[in-house]
Amino acid sequence: MPYAIRNSIVLGILLILVFVGGLLSNSQSVKRLEKYKTALVKNQKTLAKLNKTYPDLGKTDEIIASLDSMKKKALEDNKIILKNDNPSQTYQYLIDITETFIPDFNFDFKVAQSGKKGELPFNSYTLNGSGNVESLHFFIYQVEYQAPLYVIESVRISETSVALKDTVDFSMKLIVYYDQQTGTSISEIPFRSFSYSNLVYNPFYSQIHSPIDRSEEEKYINITTALIIGLTPDKIFLRDINGMIVTLVPGSRVAYGYLNYINWKQQCAVFNINRIGISQEIKMYLQGNEL
């Protein structure tokens, strides 16, 4: 076979193969394109349905901002369970409360036990001490109303002594629940500020007591049997039933109390007297006594 004819036949076969291959390739491309078009239409319909069902779906930034706002509000208003807890963290948190709000309040801190309530782990602690009843009340208020979930399970309060009428002994049990999955780190929780009203009076102070030891009190002048015979803006002069004259300044002891202050304008001395555990304010005037 001549060389030219053979080459023509080979080229013709190659052209046929290229043509058939192109047709097959185009056919596959068309099928893929149709498949993509079908998927696109389906996705567009699904998206349209979602947009119709959830009109806020496209407002991603607004949704994120709303979630951040809700989280901030939760930190401000709700109790928040902690991510973890240990004695050092709890002790430091309680110290931060006292140093920030009640610097005159002190307590002894002890670890009680650890365990689980259901699936929720917890640690418990005991706090003991003595202090001003208003400071104790404010401390309990802070623990209850600050954001971290610290639960005061029990509180015991007793009077310290008749002489210290605003001081009480206390013992409380504190439980801290935490969850490593859903909890919040305590470092992310700021202190809250809120209004607070002090106690009107000490509800744990007994209003009736046994008489105070008279032998000790009788060492001082008894204002019930004395007369005020003179005064200046900073001192007074009393005469007892035996005729002895005693000079007193604010803070000086008398039987069952002390001289509180001098009212120069009203020409009287004001004493704080406590005969049976109830303090009374008694005034003595230069021209007479009001007992």
pLDDT truncated to tens, each residue of the chain (291 aa)? 555 565 555 555 555 555 555 545 555 655 666 776 777 778 777 777 777 776 665 666 666 666 666 666 655 557 888 999 999 999 999 999 999 888 889 999 999 999 988 888 999 999 999 888 888 888 998 898 888 989 999 999 887 654 456 788 899 999 999 999 888 899 888 887 766 666 666 666 666 656 666 777 888 999 988 999 998 988 999 998 888 999 999 888 898 889 989 998 888 999 988 877 677 889 999 865 444
pLDDT of residue 291: 45
Instruction: Report the pLDDT value the prediction gives residue 165, as an integer from 0 to 100.
Output: 64
> Which pTM value belongs to this model?
0.49
pLDDT computed for residue 170 by the predictor: 92
- 272: Cβ–Cβ under 8 A, 6 or more apart, which residues? 257, 258, 260, 279, 280, 281, 282
Class of domain 87-188: alpha beta
Rounded alpha-carbon distances, angstroms, from residue 84 to 74, 93, 177, 228, 283: 18, 13, 8, 67, 59
User: CA of 157: how far to CAs of 25, 62, 102, 137, 250, in Å?
Assistant: 90, 51, 18, 11, 34
pLDDT of residue 68: 65
